[in-house]
Amino acid sequence: MSDDIKSTPRTPPKQPVPPPKPQRWRIVATLIAALAVAVAVAGEAGVNSRQGPSAVQGSVGRTPAPISTPSSPVTVTTPINLPPDTESVSFALVGDITFSNYDTLPVGGMDRVFDYVRGDLESDVTMGNLETVIGNVRATKCAPRAAGDGSPNNCYTFVAHPDAAKALSNAGFAAVNLANNHSNDAGAAGVADTQAALKAAGVKWTGKPGQIEYIHLDDQDLTVAILGFAPYSSSANLLDINGAKQLVAKAKKKADLVIVYMHVGAEGANQQHVRAGSEVFLGEDRGNPIAFSHAVIDAGADLVFGSGPHVLRGMQWYKGKLIAYSLGNFSGYNTLTYTGVFGISAILHVTLDQKGNFLVGSLTPIVRVTPGVPKIDVTGTAISQIKALSQADFAGNGAVKISNDGTIQPPA
C-alpha cells in the first residue's frame, strides 16, 4: 500500500454506521427527478449543487456526510428482460474489501459495513477481493520503525475480526479472491484463520497457487470456475502468464463458465489509466494488465475483472469478453482512504449465458462515506469516470460503451 491508506485509530469510533437505505439508486434517482419537476411547477427555487468526489470526506467519529441531490439525476431506462428459457448466470462483482482492523469494530457489528448496498449485491455469484486477514491473530508483516512505534512508511496491515466472514456471507458474497498483497499480513496463522472463518461462513475463496474453485448452481445446472491471480509467488502468479493460461484451460475443461479475478497494477490517484506493458509500484513488478487479461481469455476465461490500483479504471471488450481493469475500493471501515478518486467505486453486474456469451450488464455507482462504507451514488460519478477512461484508453480497440444510466452496451 502507498499513502492512499489511512492509519487506523485504536479506539472505537463514536458513531455507528448509519442505518440502511432500502431504495436502489435508480429508484432514488427517479424520485429525485420527480421531486425536481414538482418543485419547478410550484415555482420554488433552490436546487442542490452536484457533489464531486472531494465531497465524500470525513473523519472517524463524525456523522456520515450526506450525498447532495444532483442537479441532473442520472437517466433511468427500462431494465432489459431475458427470454424465460435463457440459461444464464448473473454476477455482482466489486473491488477491494476491508473491514475495520481488529480493535476498532463497527458499532452494531460487522454487518453494518454493507447496510447501504445490501440489495444491490444480489446475484447468482457475488464476488470481491478480500484485502484483509480475518481471524484471531495479530499482524506480523510490518516491522517497527527504528523509533519503536508504528510501521515503516508504505507498509500497512489489515486484520479483521472473525465476524467479518459472516458479514460477507450475510451480504450475499459467494466467494472472495485471496490473491493480493494483504492475505499474508499475519503470516501462516493468518492465512489459516482466514480460510477457516470463510469456510465456517460458507464463503468460498480462490487465489492460492494452482487453485481452481468451483461453484455449482443447482437451479441452472451450471458450474462456474473462479480463479484469482496476483503478482506474488504466494498466490496464483499473474507474472507467469503461461502458467495462468494453463490453469484457466484446466478450469475450462470442467466448468461451463470461467471467471478470473486479477489483483494487478500500480497504486495511486494518478493510476486510473491502463497503459501497455508492465506496471511497477515501489520497485515491485505489479504485472501487465492487458497482456494478462488477453491471455487468460485466449485460454478460455469468459469474464475478467479486478482491483489493485485502489481507483477505477476503464473497461474493454476482447474477443467478445468483458474486462474490467479495476473496480476500485469497495469497503474500508476506518482503513482505506475515501477522499477524492479513492472514494469512487462501482458494483459491476454482468449476466452471461451458459456458453459464456454476454447478455446484459450494468454499473451501480458507489461512493464511500464516513467512516469508509459503500453507499449508492445517485450522481453516477463512477459511471461517467469509467465511460471516459474506457474511451481514453481503448478507443478503436474494444472500448466498452456505457449508457448514462450505467447500462453496458453489448460488444460490437
CA distance 130 to 127: 9
The distance of Cα 291 from the centroid of its chain, to the nearest Å, equals 21
How confident is residue 107, by pLDDT bands cut at 50, 70 and 90?
confident
The pLDDT tens digits for 142-155 are 865 444 444 445 67
**CATH of range 89-139+153-394; options 2.130.10.10, 3.20.20.60, 1.10.3720.10, 3.60.21.10:** 3.60.21.10
The pLDDT tens digits for 59-90 are 223 233 322 233 333 433 334 566 666 789 99
Q: Average pLDDT over the chain, rounded to whole?
A: 81
8 A C-beta contact, residue 345 and residue 336: no
Indicate if the pLDDT at residue 177 is higher than 70: yes
**Short-list 113, 109, 5, CA closest to 335:** 5
* 315-318 β-sheet, strand order: 213-217, 222-229, 257-263, 303-307, 321-324, 315-318
| pLDDT the model gives residue 367 | 97
Indicate if the pLDDT at residue 36 is higher than 60: no
| pLDDT the model gives residue 74 | 40
8 A C-beta contact, residue 363 and residue 347: yes
How confident is residue 389, by pLDDT bands cut at 50, 70 and 90?
very high
| pLDDT the model gives residue 205 | 98
The pLDDT tens digits for 242-282 are 999 999 999 999 999 999 999 999 999 999 999 999 999 98
> The whole model's pTM is what?
0.81
CA distance 322 to 351: 11
Of residues 270 and 10, which shows the higher confidence score? Answer: 270
Q: What are phi and psi of 38, to 5 degrees?
A: -65, -40
8 A C-beta contact, residue 307 and residue 97: no
Of residues 263 and 10, which shows the higher confidence score? Answer: 263
Indicate if the pLDDT at residue 409 is higher than 90: yes
Average pLDDT of span 383-396: 97
8 A C-beta contact, residue 321 and residue 356: yes
